Amino acid sequence: MRYTRRSTLALLAGMAITPLAAVAQQDYPTRPITLVVPYGAGGTTDISARQMATMAEKILGQPIVVENQPGASGTNAMRSVASAEPDGYTLIATTSSPSFVTPALRDVGYDTLADFIPILNYSGPFHGVVVPADSPYDTLDALIEGAKSGAVTYGTAGAMGGAHLAFASVAKDTGTMLQHVPFDGASKATAAVLGGHVDAALVPAYRDLVQDGQLRLLGVLDGTNDPDFPDAPTLKEAGLAAEFPSIVGIMAPAGTDPAIIAKLESAFTEVASSDGFKTFMTDLSQPVRIMSGENLAATIEENFAAYREIAKDLGN
């Protein structure tokens, strides 16, 4: 390697500040931390992130300020945090869409695993396959069989979202006529299935409607069973060769010191594992799903590859 005077000076400068940097990392945090939420205030991601911040700041000894940066399915906020100083004071609470679904469809201006360090995953809403309570389809098998002989319509929160791509994969693998009907949000897809305008819907907020007897839950898209409905199968349990887990995790810009990442992971994991946080999430109708940063990175990588293949099949 050829060294110039400038590079030599830079090297010496780096060596000179190393002890100071080590002390700063050991004392971290010494000022408030910003936790960016890539959606508007009031949604489940925002609410759960605020609770996580409130509880974690008591462990870390500094305020954690939640900042909403909605827009472009969360990708605007991801780009913003990717370019932030990697000092541990700007983090993002991200979900499946801006982490691996949308990046599988188009250039979003960042590479999730190259530009971020996953710290941990703490949740991930279950997406249920629901039908009206009086539907002739009482199992996923029955729904798939029905789609072999005629078109079966299903609604989701929007075209090319995670739920749409998941069932597009199911339709391809089973050779069935599962016809997608996109809506502007999951609540409208839920209203459509309640009103009998579509045969089924793939939505996250189904618990109360199923418990009230208005909807029937046929299964879940995720790789694990919903503890509220343990008899509802996952796609793989129903004999389908796919699973599509959702994530809600916290990440930092790439380049953040490993000692800071370790401290943050310890604090956030302590919160996510606590009875208080679990009770809060139960009341919010959201599961607690804890994954280490390493496991979250693997999940993002695997799902990006899966959604990229589905997108190619759809000609995207």
HEC readout, the chain: CCCCHHHHHHHHHHHHHHHHHHHHHHHCCCCCEEEEECCCCCCHHHHHHHHHHHHHHHHHCCCEEEEECCCHHHHHHHHHHHCCCCCCCEEEEEEHHHHHHHHHHCCCCCCHHHHEEEEEEEECCCCEEEEECCCCCCCHHHHHHHHHHCCEEEEECCCCCHHHHHHHHHHHHHCCCEEEEECCCHHHHHHHHHCCCCCEEEECCCHHHHHCCCEEEEEECCCCCCCCCCCCCECCCCCCCCCCCCCEEEEEECCCCHHHHHHHHHHHHHHHHCHHHHHHHHHCCCCCCCEEHHHHHHHHHHHHHHHHHHHHHCCC
Q: Which residue has the tokens 């389809």?
A: 137
CA proximity to 74, closest of 98, 92, 50 = 98
What is the four-CA torsion angle of 194, 196, 197, 201, rounded to 10 degrees?
A: 50
Mean pLDDT within 140-147:
94
User: For the ranges 9-13, 161-165, 237-241, 268-272, which has the lowest average pLDDT?
Assistant: 9-13
Please report which confidence band the pLDDT of residue 98 belongs to, taking 50, 70 and 90 as the band edges. Answer: very high
Mean pLDDT within 213-235:
92
Mean pLDDT within 224-236:
91
pLDDT of residue 25: 58
pLDDT of residue 15: 53
Compute the mean pLDDT over every residue in the chain, rounded to the nearest whole number: 89
Q: Which of 4-8, 14-18, 38-42, 237-241 has the highest mean pLDDT?
A: 38-42
31-125+246-313 and 128-220 share one fold: yes
User: For the ranges 5-9, 16-20, 62-66, 68-72, which has the lowest average pLDDT?
Assistant: 5-9
- Residue 12 CB neighbour total at 10 angstroms: 9
CATH homologous superfamily of 128-220 equals: Periplasmic binding protein-like II (3.40.190.10)
- Both structure tokens of 286: 């959201």
Looking at per-residue pLDDT, the higher value among 299 and 17 belongs to 299
The domain locations on the chain are 31-125+246-313, 128-220
Looking at per-residue pLDDT, the higher value among 56 and 9 belongs to 56
Looking at per-residue pLDDT, the higher value among 224 and 123 belongs to 123
The predicted-structure confidence for 1-32, as pLDDT tens digits, reads as follows: 333 333 343 344 445 544 545 545 579 999 99
Q: Specify the pTM.
A: 0.83
What is the CATH topology of the domain spanning 31-125+246-313? D-Maltodextrin-Binding Protein; domain 2 (3.40.190)
Mean pLDDT within 106-119:
97
pLDDT of residue 16: 53
The predicted-structure confidence for 158-205, as pLDDT tens digits, reads as follows: 888 888 888 998 998 899 989 999 998 888 999 999 999 999 999 988
Mean pLDDT within 148-158:
91
Q: Which residue has the tokens 């606590």?
A: 274
